[in-house]
């Protein structure tokens, strides 16, 4: 099963990083307001970019690493990892 680490841009300009094994479904959930507490009042969201991993464990570790970065560093990380 493929896991995705994704970066959303919220309507207020902030970024949200998360993981899922069904990217399309998860973005729809965020836009419906049922995705995550952080994005609930910040919709609609726009998928900026994503990376795929082979395991959930890898995705969780990568998500944690990305969440430690600044906003500008997050985009650079995703762009350099493609």
Query: In the chain, what is the straight-line distance between the N-terminal and C-terminal CA atoms, in Å?
Result: 19
pTM: 0.93
pLDDT tens digits, residue range 24-82? 999 999 999 998 999 998 989 999 999 999 999 999 999 999 999 999 999 899 888 86
Residue 35 has what pLDDT? 81
- Name all domains of the chain by residue range, CATH numbers in brackets: 3-80 (3.40.1440.10)
Cβ-based neighbours of 24, under 8 Å, separated by 6 or more: none
Contact 65, 79 (CB under 8 A): no
């Amino acid at each position: 099963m493929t896991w995705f680490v994704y970066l959303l841009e919220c309507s207020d300009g902030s970024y949200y990083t998360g993981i899922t094994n069904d990217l399309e479904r998860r973005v729809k959930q965020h836009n419906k307001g049922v995705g995550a507490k952080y994005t609930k009042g910040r919709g609609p969201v726009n998928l900026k970019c994503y990376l795929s991993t082979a395991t959930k464990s890898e995705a969780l570790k990568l998500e944690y690493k990305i969440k430690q970065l600044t906003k500008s560093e997050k985009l650079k990380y995703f762009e350099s990892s493609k």
